[in-house]
Amino acid sequence: METTILLGGKGLENRIINKLKAIVGQEDVLIHLEDRLCYSYDGTFQRGIPEAVVFPGSTGEVAEIIKLANMEKFSVFPRGAGTGLSGGSIPQSFGIALVLTRMNKIKEISKEDLLAVVEPGVITGQFHQEVEKMGLFYPPDPASLKTCTMGGNVAENAGGPRAFKYGVTKDYVLGLEVVTPTGEIMRTGGKTVKNVTGYDLTRLLTGSEGTLGIITEITVRLLPRPKDKKTALVIFDKLEDAARTVTAIIYEGVIPATLELMDRVTINCVEKQAHLGLPLDAEAFLLMEVDGSSSQVAEDIQIIETVCKNNDCRRIEIASLPEEREKLWTARRAVSSAIVQLKPTKISEDATVPRSKIPEMVKCLREISAKYRLHLPVFGHAGDGNLHPNILADKNDQEEMERVEKAVGEIFKAALDLGGTLSGEHGIGVMKKPYLEWELGEAGLNYLKAIKKAVDPNNILNPGKIF
């Protein structure tokens, strides 16, 4: 597990700073250390201070900056809201942070074509609100949606609780406008659901973590907004019963929009912080939301109740009204901030397994936690096998961090042995680089490197990420 702190080196020469200011304007280039520090972190404990922070206002400006970077040989680290959980936006070498938040217009929402066109700096949660006002629905819902950007979501191929039923960001991206690592402006895909012209560059760029191009415009597919919703909070005395219930519900033909799991450690942290009346002795809870037509929702919730009872749940609460549902969701949303009560450094993993392997993965996580004497609360998107084992430690305690590193390796190994993946949604960034070959093999890794080399010969764009 690498920790990088770049304290700023020789600095960008004044003539280069002046050229950057000429491109984006005086105000939109930050060079003072206290400003640059604000762009040196993300949701991990990685740090790296950029030599300058630049805020382009248009695709043309992005292209000019990239051309300048190729000429003057400085790196460019694209950044949205900096909520990433794999160190993807953190500078790893001499270069600038390119922050896309000024490009934040929703350009089009079409009810006829069921699509929208947005700039990369649009906040995901605000986009949800705008499409929902028109009776439409954009499913990808990372828990960071109040701050993260659509560009960051595409670059990370973000998921979220609703991925279980509705899929992840890549299932909604129809087309992109991209500035290539050499500064050309390129379009991929388009406004049609069907499009097989050439290689599928939209898919290649979605999830490319800012290494293959800067995303400057995104066209996404929308759905009609579901008419009804109900939420169920189910308490279990045994974690294994909760994990078994997940597969049993799907076996009965119900696909909830969300199916979230929280273990006892997580429940205790949340209760201590949010005082929601959660039972501290419960081993797990499942939070499920079903959506669709009113009759479908009623039928699904009845099946869920029966399956939960058959799998020895202790209690079920069902909420129909928006404010009641919101209350049940408060517990899930409080998790990230609540668990840091245990220890200050949160290592948030998203190793993912086929959902039938959840009980085995949960067992492995418990063994790893005991073996390395670490706090390892487990919560996450159980419906799609994307648990979030979070290790809580103190980065200043070297001995503990060595145990963390070994535990992380074992978590990845367990997930891969069960037929899973290193990352369900957070990306590789810097955090998971050392393990990439375990999943892709040498040939797979070389293929990725060859693509990067072909499109970014000067290694300008987000160097030091993924591999």
Helices (H) and strands (E) in the chain, counts: 15, 18
Query: Least distance from C-beta 241 to ligand FAD, angstroms?
Result: 25
Query: Least distance from C-beta 251 to ligand FAD, angstroms?
Result: 25
Query: Least distance from C-beta 81 to ligand FAD, angstroms?
Result: 4
Closer of 3 and 310 to ligand FAD (Cβ): 3
Query: Least distance from C-beta 215 to ligand FAD, angstroms?
Result: 4
Pairwise CA distance, residues 346 & 14, whole Å = 38
Mapping DSSP to helix (H, G, I), strand (E, B) and coil, where does residue 193 land? coil
Mapping DSSP to helix (H, G, I), strand (E, B) and coil, where does residue 224 land? strand
- Which residues are CB-neighbours of 422 under 8 A, at least 6 positions away? 351, 412, 415, 416, 428, 432, 435, 436, 438, 439
Closer of 312 and 439 to ligand FAD (Cβ): 439
Asked if 264 contacts 270 with a C-beta cutoff of 8 angstroms, the reply is: no
Closer of 308 and 393 to ligand FAD (Cβ): 393
Binding string, residues 248-287; x marks residues near ligand FAD by CB under 6 A: ----------------------------------------
Closest among 414, 381, 372, 375 to 394, alpha carbons compared:
375
Asked if 182 contacts 65 with a C-beta cutoff of 8 angstroms, the reply is: no
- Tokens 């629905």 appear where? 137
Angle, CA 168 vertex, CA 164 and CA 170 arms, to 5°: 150
DSSP H or E segment with residue 402: helix 398-417
Closer of 91 and 282 to ligand FAD (Cβ): 91
Phi, psi at 166, each rounded to 5° = -105, -5
Closer of 298 and 455 to ligand FAD (Cβ): 455
Closer of 142 and 183 to ligand FAD (Cβ): 142
Binding string, residues 179-218; x marks residues near ligand FAD by CB under 6 A: ------------------------------xx---xx---
Amino acid at site 137: F
Site size for ligand FAD, by CB under 6 A? 35
Query: Least distance from C-beta 355 to ligand FAD, angstroms?
Result: 17
Query: Least distance from C-beta 105 to ligand FAD, angstroms?
Result: 14
Residue spans of beta strands (DSSP E) within 24-135? 29-30, 52-54, 75-79, 95-99, 106-110, 115-118
Pairwise CA distance, residues 92 & 462, whole Å = 8
* Pairing state between β 386-393 and 378-381: antiparallel
Pairwise CA distance, residues 86 & 349, whole Å = 9
Binding string, residues 97-116; x marks residues near ligand FAD by CB under 6 A: ---x----------------
Window 404-443: residues binding ligand FAD (CB under 6 A) = 425-426
Among 42, 177, 271, 400, binds ligand FAD (CB under 6 A): 42
Residue spans of beta strands (DSSP E) within 405-450? none
Window 129-148: residues binding ligand FAD (CB under 6 A) = 142-144, 148
Closer of 80 and 308 to ligand FAD (Cβ): 80
Distance spanning both ends of the chain, measured CA to CA: 13
Window 153-172: residues binding ligand FAD (CB under 6 A) = 153, 155-156, 158-160
Binding string, residues 61-100; x marks residues near ligand FAD by CB under 6 A: -----------------xxxxxxxx--xx----------x
Query: Least distance from C-beta 62 to ligand FAD, angstroms?
Result: 9
Closer of 310 and 330 to ligand FAD (Cβ): 330
Asked if 31 contacts 52 with a C-beta cutoff of 8 angstroms, the reply is: yes
Beta bridge partners of 123: 149
Query: Least distance from C-beta 299 to ligand FAD, angstroms?
Result: 28
Query: Least distance from C-beta 305 to ligand FAD, angstroms?
Result: 27
Query: Least distance from C-beta 14 to ligand FAD, angstroms?
Result: 26
Residues that bind ligand FAD (CB under 6 A): 42-43, 78-85, 88-89, 100, 120, 142-144, 148-149, 151-153, 155-156, 158-160, 209-210, 214-215, 336, 425-426, 462
